[in-house]
């Protein structure tokens, strides 16, 4: 059964929202049309978005066909097979189960052409969502079975550039992700390779992967040091396993942003440290619910963290894995978490403040001016 989000504005790019989608939210779907229209027009910034979790289904099917991975069947059956491989269930057992949704995308993204295409298409998709600034993450070492590390990175850089050419309203910067399972020597090599693209739009360095098997980010201290020295912003995925203790471990490495980090709510001392050190949590409530970090979307601590004084941003994590757009995530936060429109607007603008644009302050200022101009014309976004 397919349904459109109730009240979606005429001409909206909102796609059919299936009731069995991992992001389906009846409260969000029932929002008034004027709220959907505002969320669509609102200029948005997204800081936590993975390239290999955000493929178009049709593109994935075409690439899988080319590799002989798709069994014979009707078009609907074939597309259903691709969807089953790319979209995770509403809830999985743990982080490792969720990560299996990346097996097929990684297999498809092993050529320069595929990397370029998928990066360009993601930028175009962001434009339909009203996104003005986004940081797209990917793990370069996962996509170099046939390529050098340099050539794989260069392909994504070219794809992002092409996407911005096709969708000139979107500004994208890239974040290279190091996997926790990598040997420290490989982390150093990746930091060195990423550093060569700082002036071509690669502005961040991240650590992600299986926390349960590789809990200590300090193993990659040298890679972080090299990345910082090259001018890359550093962030770390933490708290998808192991609770608040994992967020504390990430804090010890020294980072201004943490990807996820929702379990910090359970540790009052950690909350104080996050506030004192002005560390931002890049939160993804739908993805966190899928991964079992919270039992229900409605229980996600985002509003409590924010109202306690912790800086947060709001992102999708993976558009395809969660069958999600940023507008839907905003609508869910508003309808099911009780985040007010002025609070959403404050979260949105804060994302620009902490974006990895350290060497592009003029661009940051221009985007801020654009956002502020929009807000001045929208009384519903003003603090009450």
- Could you give the strand order of the β-sheet that contains 44-50, starting from the edge strand earlier in sequence? 44-50, 131-138, 171-179, 202-208, 233-238, 257-260, 280-283, 311-314
Give me the tens of pLDDT residue by residue for the chain, a chain 384 residues long: 233 344 343 333 345 688 889 999 999 999 999 999 999 999 999 999 999 999 999 999 999 999 999 878 888 889 899 999 999 988 887 777 777 889 999 999 999 999 999 999 999 999 999 999 999 999 999 999 999 999 999 999 999 999 999 999 999 999 999 999 999 999 999 999 999 999 999 999 999 999 999 999 999 999 999 999 999 999 999 999 899 999 999 999 999 999 999 999 999 999 999 999 999 999 999 999 999 899 999 999 999 999 999 999 999 999 999 999 999 999 999 999 999 999 999 999 999 999 999 999 999 999 999 999 999 999 999 975
What is the C-alpha separation between 296 and 285, in angstroms, rounded? Answer: 9
What is the C-alpha separation between 384 and 381, in angstroms, rounded? Answer: 9
Number of domains in the chain: 1
Residue 384 lies in a domain: no
Give the CATH number of the domain where residue 310 resides. Answer: 3.20.20.140
Q: Which segments within the chain are labelled E, that is strand?
A: 2-3, 17-18, 44-50, 131-138, 171-179, 202-208, 233-238, 257-260, 280-283, 311-314
pLDDT at 172: 99
**Short-list 330, 332, 334, CA closest to 315:** 330
Residue 313 lies in a domain: yes
Residue 5 lies in a domain: no
Residue 326 lies in a domain: yes
pLDDT at 13: 37
Q: Which range of residues forms the domain containing residue 303?
A: 42-376
Residue 7 lies in a domain: no
**Active centre residues (catalytic):** 240
Residue 330 lies in a domain: yes
**Short-list 177, 183, 184, CA closest to 208:** 177
Model confidence pLDDT, tens digit, residues 125-167: 999 999 999 999 999 999 999 999 999 999 999 999 999 999 9
Coil vs helix vs strand at 289: helix
Residue 302 lies in a domain: yes
Residue 30 lies in a domain: no
């Amino acid at each position: 059964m397919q349904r459109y989000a109730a009240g979606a504005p005429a001409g909206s790019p909102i796609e059919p929202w299936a009731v069995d989608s991992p992001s389906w939210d009846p409260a969000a779907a029932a929002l008034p049309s004027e709220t959907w229209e505002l969320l669509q027009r609102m200029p948005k910034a997204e800081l936590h978005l993975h390239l290999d979790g955000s493929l178009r289904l049709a593109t994935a099917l075409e690439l899988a066909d080319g590799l002989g991975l798709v069994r014979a069947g009707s078009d609907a059956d074939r597309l259903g097979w691709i969807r089953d491989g790319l979209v995770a269930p509403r809830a999985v057992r743990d982080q490792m189960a969720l990560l299996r949704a990346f097996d097929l995308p990684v297999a498809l993204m092993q050529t320069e052409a595929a990397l370029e295409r998928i990066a360009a298409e993601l930028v175009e998709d962001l434009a339909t969502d009203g996104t003005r600034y986004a940081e797209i993450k990917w793990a370069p070492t996962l996509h170099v079975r046939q390529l050098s590390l340099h050539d794989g990175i260069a392909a994504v850089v070219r794809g992002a550039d092409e996407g911005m050419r096709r969708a000139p309203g979107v500004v994208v910067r890239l974040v290279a992700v190091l996997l926790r399972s990598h040997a420290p020597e490989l982390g150093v090599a990746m930091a060195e390779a990423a550093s060569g693209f700082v002036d071509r739009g690669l502005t961040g360095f991240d650590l992600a992967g299986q926390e349960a098997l590789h809990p200590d980010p300090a193993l990659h201290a040298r890679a972080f040091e090299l990345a910082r020295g090259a001018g890359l912003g550093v962030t770390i995925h933490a708290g998808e396993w192991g609770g608040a203790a994992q967020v504390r471990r990430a804090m010890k490495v020294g980072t201004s942003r943490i990807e996820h980090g929702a379990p910090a709510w359970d540790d009052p001392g950690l909350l104080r440290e996050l506030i004192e050190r002005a560390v931002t949590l890049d939160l993804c409530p739908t993805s966190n619910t899928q991964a079992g970090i919270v039992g229900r979307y409605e229980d996600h601590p985002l509003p409590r963290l924010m109202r306690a004084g912790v800086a947060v941003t709001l992102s999708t994590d993976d558009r395809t894995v969660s069958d999600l757009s940023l507008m839907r995530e905003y609508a869910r936060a508003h309808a099911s978490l009780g985040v007010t429109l002025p609070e959403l607007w404050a979260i949105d603008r804060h994302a620009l403040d902490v974006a990895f644009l350290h060497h592009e302050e003029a661009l940051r200022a221009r985007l801020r001016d654009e956002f502020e101009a929009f807000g001045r014309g929208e009384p519903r976004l003003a603090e009450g």
